[in-house]
Structure 1
Amino acid sequence: MIRPAKATDIKQIVELIQPYIKDFALNAEGEAKFSQDMIKKLLEMQSIEYFVFEKDLSIIGVIAYKQPSHLIHFFVKQNSQQRGIGRQLWMFLEDKLSQQHSQITVNSSCYAQPVYENFGFTVTSTVIENGGLRYIPMCKSYA
């Protein structure tokens, strides 16, 4: 079930994201952007909408965006991949955003680039290293 994230989910969200930090973070500055304190701040921000995929009281996927339409987090628990959970999360958010916006953007990890391409995103720049993170800017347009 996909539902809005709440403060009591923070610990599970951080644990879910933890194995992926190496794909993004270059140093401690980058790692800090996925800390429990940072997730808590994101959940409290008015400009961020954060959703979780919950099954049997366990969070197995997360997706979040910053308004108007920039995807900031999209992770599925490693042992729950290849089961359509990521596709369900993406379809949920795409349906929500594509009705109101002409494009959705994301700063993808190098590892996740093929996943986003499969969802129709295209690369808009070479790899960028900034603020302790390494990412590839991507965009999906709705014309």
Structure 2
Amino acid sequence: MIRIAELSDSVDIQQLIQPYISDFAIHAEGEQKFSQFALEQLLQQTEVHYFVYERASKIMGVIAYREPAYLVHFFVDQADQGQGIGRLLWNYLLQSLEDGNPQQVSVNSSCNAVAVYEKFGFQCISDVCEFGGLRFIKMLRLKSSCA
């Protein structure tokens, strides 16, 4: 089931994200952006909407966006990939975004996740960037590809 994330989920979310951090964090500054403290800060921001996919009291996936439509986090537990959890979370997020009717959705993707975002209709709009201790590729999904 998908539900709104709670502050008490921060430990489980951080543990789910932890194996991915080396994919995009290039030094300690980037790693700190995925600490439990940083996640707690995100979970308390009113303009950030954070959702988890949970089954049998286990958080198996997370997705979050910052208003109006910037994808902040999108992770599925490595052990639970290939079960359609990412697709469920993505479709849930699109439904949430419909209220604001954004013309585009953007994300800074890890280099390893570009193919996943392309499946969801995103296109690369930059070369590899490094900023704030992170390595990423800027991607954009226009509303016409959101249908």
Give the TM-score, by structure 2 length.
0.95
Give the gaps of 5 or more residues in structure 2: none
Is residue 38 from structure 1 mapped to residue 41 from structure 2 by the alignment? Answer: no
Tell me, in whole angstroms, the C-alpha distance in 1 between the residues paired with 2:31 and 2:56.
29
In the other structure, the counterpart of 1:90 is 90
Aligned mates of 1:24, 1:97 — CA distance in 2: 26
Q: Which residue of the partner structure matches residue 5 of structure 2?
A: 5
| Structure 1 contact 98–142 (Cα < 8 Å) conserved | no
User: Residues of 1 paired with 2:32 and 2:120: CA distance?
Assistant: 28
Specify the alignment match of 2:111 in structure 1: 110
Q: Which residue pairs with 2:121 in the alignment?
A: 120
Deviates more, 1:96-105 or 1:5-14: 96-105
- 3-state SS of the aligned residue for 1:127? strand
Which secondary structure does the structure 2 equivalent of 1:31 belong to? helix
How many Å apart are 1:88 and its aligned residue? Answer: 0.3
Partner deviation per Cα, 1:74-122 (whole Å, 9 max, x = no partner): 0000000000000000011012214511100000000000000011000
Percent identical among aligned pairs is 51
Question: Which of structure 1's runs of 4+ aligned residues deviate more than 3 A?
Answer: none
How many residue pairs are counted as aligned between the two chains? 143
Q: Which one-letter code corresponds to 1:6 in the other structure?
A: E
